[in-house]
Structure 1
Amino acid sequence: MNTDSPSPAESETPLPVEIGEFLTHLEKERDLSPNTLQAYRRDLREFASWLAATHGIAGWEWNELTRTNIRGYMAHLTRRGLAKRSIARQLSAVRSFYRWMHRDERVDVNPARAVGSPKLPRTLPAYLDRTQAETLMQHAATRAQSLEFTDVRNLAMLELFYSSGLRLSELRGVDLADLDLVSQQVKVRGKGRKERIVPLGDHAQRALRNYLVKRDALIAQASGGAVGRRVARGAVFLSERGARISARAVQHAMVTLMSAVSEGADLTTHSLRHTFATHLVDAGADLRAVQELLGHASISTTQIYTHTSVDRLKKVYRQAHPRA
């Protein structure tokens, strides 16, 4: 039997009850985001489909699976050509599922705990250097001089990304009630619905003030027309029709701006977050503070941004060490 490619019937295997209850636990008790829940559902459904394809739909029990079974699943994913990062994510989902079942005394042991995760390559995220960042801001500011709604909005989004290091989903989710331009700070709901307060720079504050004037005018115009029911009055960033801006629209706007100053650099919206962190760390910012600003759960995630600090450290060494 070819277990690498489940048949359509196998792919449509009903989701086991235990997985459904685990997903409910994640949603209700851990308050995970819809995107995270969808990823767990997808990964665990694939695991269950593989078990059904290799053991038969009724040919296995959660408590009978061993680490050999889990390793077999990892080998199956490798043969399918999945990247190491994707395999590691799926193993993490299986581990979390078994950890929950073990705590709930549904299984005696967690067999996934003893399975090693693939070693991931330490890739450096794409980011803009200081000259590129300054050129990008000037380019966006020049476009905003048109006073067109989209150009003024895009400058405000760009400045907020670079000023505060927000994720795309966090920027989309910012409401008027979260924004305090007097104190120059914004409340952000990050991964796991965790809230944090991040500062706003002077440039971001000015760009946001200019945009909010355009935003208010758009809402006033939209409210008087047929689309008035769809106006997202609480959201900060809106589409031209008055709805909360979509993730795709944010991506398109930012990539378009970046492509004008850094063609072929493979930059994405997330590159602005990397740029924010890299510039802070490179200037000597405390890594723990950067961790809090980014909303990272672990300091190890933040440490990747130390890659540009080598030159600065060498300079400090030459200045301070007596035999440098």
Structure 2
Amino acid sequence: MRDKPIIRILFETGLRANELLNLILSDFNVSKCSVLVRESNTKAGKNRTVYITSETINLFQDYIIDYHSEFVVTEHVFVNHTGKNKGNKMTYWGLESLVKRLRHKTGIDFTAHMLRHTFAANLNDNGMKANSIRALMGHSHIETTLKMYIHPSHETIRKEWEIVTKKMDS
């Protein structure tokens, strides 16, 4: 129940692992399907708003109702559900362990950070302007977004090539 919202939020927002793990309950605005990222390793990353789908908001709410109960000793959203740290904020190594288990279970080779790259590439491939992607990712400089995260897919390159060559033939 906890793992689905984690993966969906990473995929839909491009959050860094530490940003995800530092989310608290009040960071979520259910009516606006948005999340306030208060804490980040970068100045530009702090206090930015990111957006999630209503389906992910529903998963988040189900998780909170079912699992964020009396054993939870923190306002952090994602907590350990077993072990000696049950009820405490999930750690980076806990997230890494979750991703490792999911890789093994699904046979899909991925990391939490790869979801950040996928987020940026998907937005770019679907026409979002680079400066908007930069803001959502919490980058100070557009160059970081362009050099490190925006990689057009082969399909996008092909479509753009076809458009340009048709114009050239005209």
TM-score by length of 2: 0.84
Tell me if structure 2 keeps the 8 A contact 1:255–1:269: no
Q: Which amino acid aligns with 2:106?
A: V
SS in 1 for 2:59: helix
SS in 1 for 2:98: helix
Tell me if structure 1 keeps the 8 A contact 2:80–2:90: yes
For structure 1, the residue ranges without an aligned partner over 5 or more in a row are 1-151, 224-230
For structure 2, the residue ranges without an aligned partner over 5 or more in a row are none
SS in 1 for 2:48: strand
Q: Which structure is higher in helix share?
A: 1
Partner residue of 1:248 out of 77, 80, 93? 93
What is the CA deviation profile of residues 87-106 of structure 1, one whole-angstrom value per residue up to 9, with x for unaligned ones?
Answer: xxxxxxxxxxxxxxxxxxxx
CA-CA distance at 1:290 after TM superposition: 0.6
Partner residue of 1:191 out of 19, 41, 57? 41
Partner residue of 1:235 out of 76, 80, 96? 76
CA-CA distance at 1:167 after TM superposition: 0.5
Q: Which amino acid aligns with 1:315?
A: K
Partner Cα separation in structure 1 for residue 114 and residue 124 of structure 2: 15
Tell me if structure 1 keeps the 8 A contact 2:12–2:52: yes
Partner Cα separation in structure 2 for residue 322 and residue 168 of structure 1: 45
CA-CA distance at 1:186 after TM superposition: 0.4
Partner Cα separation in structure 2 for residue 274 and residue 246 of structure 1: 22
Partner Cα separation in structure 2 for residue 260 and residue 280 of structure 1: 28
CA-CA distance at 1:159 after TM superposition: 0.9
Q: How many residues align?
A: 160
Tell me if structure 2 keeps the 8 A contact 1:164–1:293: yes
Q: Which amino acid aligns with 1:204?
A: T
Q: Where do residues 109-148 of structure 1 align in structure 2 (5 Å cutoff)?
A: none
- CA RMSD, Structure 1 to Structure 2 (Å): 2.0
- The 3 A distance-change label for structure 1 pair 260 and 308 is farther
Q: Where do residues 139-288 of structure 1 align in structure 2 (5 Å cutoff)?
A: 152-188=1-37, 189-192=39-42, 194-216=46-68, 219-220=69-70, 222=71, 231-232=73-74, 234-240=75-81, 241-263=86-108, 265=109, 267-288=110-131
- The 3 A distance-change label for structure 1 pair 186 and 270 is same
Residue 321 (structure 1) aligned with residue 167 (structure 2): yes
Tell me if structure 2 keeps the 8 A contact 1:296–1:302: yes
Q: Which amino acid aligns with 1:297?
A: S
CA-CA distance at 1:161 after TM superposition: 0.6
CA-CA distance at 1:322 after TM superposition: 3.9
Greater relative CO (CA pairs within 8 A, separation 6+): 2
Q: Which amino acid aligns with 1:270?
A: H
SS in 1 for 2:106: coil
Partner Cα separation in structure 1 for residue 142 and residue 88 of structure 2: 36
CA-CA distance at 1:179 after TM superposition: 0.9
Partner of 1:124: none
What is the CA deviation profile of residues 29-79 of structure 1, one whole-angstrom value per residue up to 9, with x for unaligned ones?
Answer: xxxxxxxxxxxxxxxxxxxxxxxxxxxxxxxxxxxxxxxxxxxxxxxxxxx
Q: Which amino acid aligns with 1:205?
A: I
Q: Which amino acid aligns with 2:97?
A: H
Q: Which amino acid aligns with 2:57?
A: Q
Residue 306 (structure 1) aligned with residue 150 (structure 2): yes
CA-CA distance at 1:310 after TM superposition: 4.9
State the percentage of identical aligned residues.
25
